[in-house]
Amino acid sequence: RVDWTYDALGRRVRQVRYVWTNGTRQVVEDLKLVSDPVMFGRPIAELNGTNGALVRSYVWGLDLSETLDGAGGVGGLLWVRLNTSPASGVHFVTYDGNGNVWTLVSASTGTETARYEYGPFGEPLRLTGAAAGWNPFRFSTKRSEDATGLVLYEYRAYSPALGRWLSRDPLGEQPGSFSLRSGPASLVGAQPYAFVLNAPVFRYDVLGLVPPMEVPWWPPKCDPPPLPSPCDVAAHLIRSFLSTPQEKAAWDRYVSGTGGTWKLSCSEMRSVLSAARAANGMTVLDMIEAERRRCEYGFLGYPNSDWWKSHWWMSQRKEVVAVGAPWECALGNVELTIYTACECNKFFYSVCLKDRYDFDPKWLETHRSWFGEFYVTVVWAAQNALKCGWRPYQITGCYHGALCTF
């Protein structure tokens, strides 16, 4: 028995194989399957499900289409690293014309460590060599499962022994209809379980879901979809770490390259002040409240000659504050200018900020946590090394006491 676990994107993330021994089911293999989300979900490693030790790892390159994914990875596996087999080490992969793995060659000695021979429908005829049974990627460069004899394509499981899929073609279930993929229903709809139109010697399947490819006529006329640029990948990666609308809005403006100035609204400034703390730990709003109370009740405790100090003043000061959630990754440490005034026990105040948003990492001058510094540094590297065109800009705003509406 073999159990597979899938994630929300339909990728296999775990494989557990059992055998029946003395009336009980015993686990003989437990693997965690790791895939590359950027490299079109290609499998890149297998870990021991119990202790997390590396069992196998894979390196991929161009497939039969001479692109990274135009042929679904068929013929694209470059080498395999085996960590727990009698043939441990790196093994280069060779192929036949259909993208089936033919041999493995040791990277250290140059000797053949595995050879695979197949029947017309991919049924295994012979496996020889110390590494043959330890490499699961064989026919059509897809994972073979020895216990079940199945070849696991991305969307369907194929049985070489039966020469057919185990599930129906989702686009060919209506006999008499026409399929844009492979022609009339006489070829697809009437044969929803057929593998590459029963001609695997001349055709190969990409994912278990797309039309069979004619080997002599590759590549197809249509161009493969363009790969995302490194800048787009970096921008998406960094944005995935941000959690609040304020942080994402600040990041999106930075990536867009529009520059200029982002003027915070009154309600946004109120939100900033609620999250801002000075170096002494007091919130900015608590500091302002203390000034208000001094204006209204400060005459208590002053000498008679100085009673006027609590009823009349004009002041301005600057405070460096750390702004927390939801502005932590948008503002960080900023300088606020605080104005207060008292006229005959009537209190007035305003708070203004001006901050440069550039995600420049200052390791010792920020309150950000280590993971915050991680993506700060990534952005800095992308801006300077990849020249992505992201532009810093100014964030400004003022809050004028009770004049604001929230």
pLDDT at 127 (0 to 100): 94
Q: Which residue has the higher pLDDT, 228 or 347?
A: 347
Q: Averaged over 7-29, what is the pLDDT?
A: 88
pLDDT at 103 over 90: yes
**Three-state secondary structure of the chain:** CEEEEECCCCCEEEEEEEEEECCEEEEEEEEEEEECCCCCCCEEEEEECCCCCEEEEEEECCCCCCCCCCCCCCCCEEEEEECCCCCCEEEEEEECCCCCEEEEEECCCCCEEEEEEECCCCCEEEEECCCHHHCCECHHHCEEECCCCEEECCCCEEECCCCEECCCCCCCCCCCCEECCCEECCCCCCCCCECHHHCCCCEECCCCCCCCEEHHHCCCCCCCCCCCCHHHHHHHHHHHHCCCHHHHHHHHHHHHCCCCEEECCHHHHHHHHHHEEECCCCEHHHHHHHHHHHHHHCCCCCCHHHHHHHCEEEEEEEEEEEECCCCCCCCCEEEEEEEEEEECCEEEEEEEEEEEECCCCCCCCCCCCHHHHHHHHHHHHHHHHHCCCCCCEEEEEEECHHHCCC
The reported pTM is: 0.49
What is the pLDDT confidence band of residue 106, given thresholds at 50, 70 and 90?
A: very high
% of residues, the chain, pLDDT over 70: 78
pLDDT at 374 (0 to 100): 60
Q: Averaged over 20-34, what is the pLDDT?
A: 90
pLDDT digits (tens, 9 = 90+) for 388-399: 888 889 999 998
pLDDT at 150 (0 to 100): 93
What is the pLDDT confidence band of residue 162, given thresholds at 50, 70 and 90?
A: very high
pLDDT at 365 (0 to 100): 46
pLDDT at 95 (0 to 100): 95
Q: Averaged over 244-263, what is the pLDDT?
A: 89
pLDDT at 68 (0 to 100): 84
pLDDT at 403 (0 to 100): 47
Q: Averaged over 216-228, what is the pLDDT?
A: 59
pLDDT at 93 over 90: yes
pLDDT digits (tens, 9 = 90+) for 188-213: 445 778 888 787 877 778 777 655 66
pLDDT at 200 (0 to 100): 82
pLDDT at 363 over 60: no
Average pLDDT, the chain: 80
pLDDT digits (tens, 9 = 90+) for 38-53: 766 789 999 999 999 9
The most confident of the ranges 203-217, 229-243, 291-305 is 229-243
Residue ranges and CATH numbers for the domains of the chain are 2-163+200-217 (no CATH), 230-403 (3.30.450)
pLDDT at 380 (0 to 100): 62
pLDDT digits (tens, 9 = 90+) for 166-190: 988 766 555 444 443 444 444 444 5
66-70, 76-80, 163-167, 349-353: the lowest-pLDDT one: 66-70
